[in-house]
Amino acid sequence: MDLLFDLLREAIAPTTAAFALAAIGLNFHFGLTGLLNMGQAGFMLLGMYGYAITVREGGPIWLGIIVAIACAAVFGVILGWPTLKLRGDYLAIVTIAAAEMIRYLGRSQNLNDLTGASTGIRGNDFKGSFEELSPFPDSMVTIGPFTFHGTRSTSWWLVLVGWTLVGLMVLLYWRLSKSPWGRVLKGIREDEDAVRSLGKNVYSYKMQALVIGGVIGALAGIVWSLGASVQPDSMGRPTTFWVWTLLLLGGAATVFGPVLGSILFWCSLVLVKGLASAFIPTTVLSSQQLEPFSLALVGVTLMCLVIFRPQGVLGDKKELAFND
């Protein structure tokens, strides 16, 4: 019974919302346009840094968000400029390399004053102004079966803001994918040359998709960092791969796929850990080994998904985003 509550709690947690947002961004890249962005964690990390550093230096929240968005947009343009004219896997290699570079730069001692090197930026340094806006009381609040703090870190306030953002972005994706603009992107995904022969500037459309998805990734980074802290190593390659897994799990190129995928992903992680610690004796699988064990399962899940059900839970096989 406790496990069930844990599951439901995980389903509405801010982390789940953050990953749903990141996956919506990736859905613009991969689902809509067919771009292989393997550096979504880099966009998230830039968003975190942009927001946290601006707010820490005394900037207001709106400026922090603008800086985060600007960072992600500039990063997207720089990445897309050389690679969007090349074949898909070049973009994959460049985005993954660039995301890692951001992480290495962020944790470098040379930039200690700015980014706090490998320890990152403590939550207390930048969360204050956001938490002051909270309409919830500054204590533990129980709504239904769940108890979160009203304002601090993983709070009802952040749950509200996170899921509102998710809702807005789902709406944005839905409107844009139905618009003429979205149809051009889908055309690029299916057959780039055909779209080009219709006189569309494919390069520019791809760039717009890359930037929009990246900006949503940056927003995801802000939501994540408000629930925890800015930690460069938490945004390594595994994070990008998780975002991919949950997008493919929910179904790429669908409106609710990323949200459902995120909820399923985090709930099943909790479920696997809960079941494993309940039923497998610690002599066989110690609590220290539980984490790598469940993450190894994530990898296997990703493989099986791509091989056996590439359209995910919600996807439509006809609208399959894989093409070369």
Partner 1 sequence: MRARIDRRVLLRAALVLVVAAIAITVVLTLAGPAGATAEVDVTSEPGTNRVAQNFFNGVVFGLLLALASVGLSLIYGTTGLSNFAHGEQVSLGAMLAYFLATQQPVSIPLIPVEFTIGLPLWLAAIIAIVLAGGSGWLQDRFLWSKLRKRRVGVVQQMIVSIGLSLALLNFLQWWIGPDRVRLSRAIEERHQIGPIQLGSITAMSIVISVVVLLGVGYFLMRTRLGRATRAVSDNPALAAASGIKVDAIIRLVWVMAASLAALGGILMALYDSGTKFDVGARLLLLMFAAVTLGGLGQPFGALVGSLVIGIVVETSTLWLGPDLKYATALGILILVLLVRPQGILGRAERVG
> Any contact of residue 92 with partner 1 (CB under 8 A)?
yes
How many C-beta neighbours within 10 Å does residue 124 have?
Answer: 12
Structure tokens at 226: 């408000």
Task: State the Cα–Cα distance between residues 231 and 53, nearest whole angstrom.
Answer: 13
Answer for which of 104, 167, 174, 191 binds partner 1 (CB under 8 A) is: 104
**Stretch of 128-136, 164-172, 206-214, 295-303 contacting partner 1, by CB under 8 A:** 295-303
Nearest to 267 by CA among 1, 26, 16: 16
Q: CB 110 → partner 1: shortest distance, Å?
A: 4
CB 275 within 8 A of CB 293: no
Provide the H-helix boundaries in the chain. Answer: 2-12, 14-26, 40-56, 61-83, 88-106, 112-115, 123-126, 128-132, 156-178, 180-190, 192-197, 202-227, 237-250, 257-279, 287-308
In the list 196, 237, 273, 309, the residue contacting partner 1 (rule: CB under 8 A) is 237
Residue from 59, 150, 238, 274 binding partner 1 (CB under 8 A): 238
**What's the token pair of residue 82?**
């050389």
Is residue 275 a contact point for partner 1 (CB under 8 A)?
no
Task: In angstroms, give the least distance from the CB of 248 to partner 1.
Answer: 7
By CB under 8 A, which span of 45-53, 104-112, 149-157, 260-268 interacts with partner 1?
104-112
Look up residue 2 and give its DSSP letter. H
CB of 189 to partner 1, least distance (A): 12
Q: Which of residues 32-91 bind partner 1 (CB under 8 A)?
A: 36, 38, 81-83, 86-90
User: Which residue ranges make up the site for partner 1 (CB under 8 A)?
Assistant: 36, 38, 81-83, 86-90, 92-94, 96-98, 100-101, 104-105, 107-113, 237-238, 241, 244-245, 248, 283-285, 288-289, 292-293, 295-307, 310, 322-324
